[in-house]
Structure 1
């Protein structure tokens, strides 16, 4: 089974005892809006996890705008939310899957395989006439034990060491103008990591808002070697996650997240920066 589940799939299973539904709605620049939306209405039984309070660590000099949480902190968060090792987790948001994919990746990183992203998101669920309410259920903690998958993560020094290596593909998940360095609304320097290809994360969805199937995802990454080490980044390590998911759906076998991403890369003086178009296919 792939990592994307349909609205009807969840509707049929939402009350099963081993299902944990997680609301991940969050808007950059409006940090309270996600929880406010959750408190107004959510999928029945869903728990809320906040991108910045629960799924990121506090910002420091390095690590980017959404640093990875400490593993002990993260396992505690999951345990308190009722996400035990025996649970199936379905994450949703209203941001095209970006925030839900962050939770998906974090759980995969900690060795939890039974985690899925809800296709289309909350508004589509509500518009379909499926149930919503504002009730917040009492959380029953469930022990979560991490088995960290270190191969899924890459740190800045390793990215720098691998620049220019023919056996490594680097993918920048931001919009093309940010990749080219023409605009930079969030970070203090514009451009991209030298050698990176640009594959905007939101293009993993079709015009109907649904995730593209495996064949269409593979077409997005055509020309890239599926067996080559593939390192994915974005601005802060969040919207890279849906690209990681898409690459896995497309059959890429060695996909790693540079969690600190661009905001971490530029925090180190001397790291090289490229601008303009650099996205040519393999020779």
Structure 2
């Protein structure tokens, strides 16, 4: 693994994002696992169907609802955090060794789902992870190999070491959101933040005091990460704590990735997000 670590850190300008060219070069490295996280909120079975039809050679599939979330309850939001023992077992089954394996994650939704697993791995204490710049479409545009073969299970060993300080709940948001050293960030599109449109949750609007940094601003229309992410966060770079939320704690992770790219290490996730918050208002 020593060679793998030195390779990614020396050949990638940012260790949290890798290019299709980089991935193609390392496609058959023994200490690399690729995960396909394609998903559609409107058609929850679509991502798996897409994966079964065509995916990056050697990639395994993890499902947002089945693998990366827990069942929905009255409170807690539309995508509660998963059972981490169960997820660790799944990660072990696809060959990931905690603290060793390099994990590259992709989707076709401008990192909207890939960043969820990227963040979950951070929460579980796994450092060696990155998202694929440009996603599956960017990979195909380079005419790199795809396959419909499902890779065999591998023998991994993932032992989660939860970084519980990276998550806040509703009560913590209420207690901390108005403190001068804390910034509360709403990652949804501007019209949802302003309450002009709400396609999913029963109540429109945002948490009082939140500022709006839409997650879609992290990438361009083709799903490539925009350079100089630190430019986005100049107003919050000195905050002691940046709490990020979205509709259900999924696309907020794209902003948490952006904060990492900007060198800001104070980002935390309100996992229940607006869907949890407004469940107490209905």
TM-score per shorter chain, which class?
over 0.9
Q: Residue 247 of structure 1 corresponds to which residue in structure 2?
A: 259
Q: Which moved more, 1:171-180 or 1:225-234?
A: 225-234
User: Which blocks of at least 5 consecutive residues in structure 1 are unaligned?
Assistant: 271-283
Counterpart selection for 1:73 from 78, 81, 86: 86
1:79-228 alignment, distance < 5 Å: 79-85=92-98, 86-213=100-227, 215=228, 217-228=229-240
2:182, 2:239 within 8 Å by CA — same for their partners in 1?
Answer: no
1:49 aligns with 2:42: no
**Alpha-carbon deviation of 1:207?**
4.7
The answer to whether the 8 A contact 1:233-1:262 is kept is yes
User: For 1:77-136, what per-residue CA distance to the aligned partner results, in whole angstroms no more than 9, with x for missing partners?
Assistant: 211222221210000000001111000000000000001000001012112110001011
**Counterpart secondary structure, 2:280:** coil
* Structure 2 Cα separation of the partners of residues 210 and 169 of structure 1: 26
Q: Residues 243-276 of structure 1, C-alpha deviation per residue, up to 9 Å, x if partnerless? A: 0000111121211011110001111248xxxxxx
Secondary structure at 1:16's aligned position in 2? Answer: coil
Could you tell me how far 1:162 is from its partner in structure 2? 1.2
Which of 246, 249, 261 matches 1:237? 249
Contact 1:23 1:93 in 2 (8 A): yes
CA distance in 1 between counterparts of 2:278 and 2:222 reads 36
TM-score, length-scaled by structure 2: 0.92
The Cα of 1:208 is off from its aligned counterpart by: 4.8
Find the aligned partners of 2:109 and 2:215 in 1 and give their Cα distance.
12
Task: Show the counterpart of 1:276.
Answer: none
Change (3 A) 1:234 1:21: same
CA distance in 2, matches of 1:14, 1:226: 39
Number of residue pairs the alignment of both structures matches: 268
Shift of 1:206: 2.8
2: distance between equivalents of 1:180 and 1:167? 24
| Residue matched to 1:31 | 44
**Is 1:267 aligned to 2:275, yes or no?**
no
Pick from 14, 17, 28 the counterpart of residue 4 of structure 1. 17
State the 4+ residue runs in structure 1 displaced beyond 4 angstroms.
none
Pair 1:258-2:267 in alignment: no
Name the SS for the 2:113 alignment partner. Answer: helix
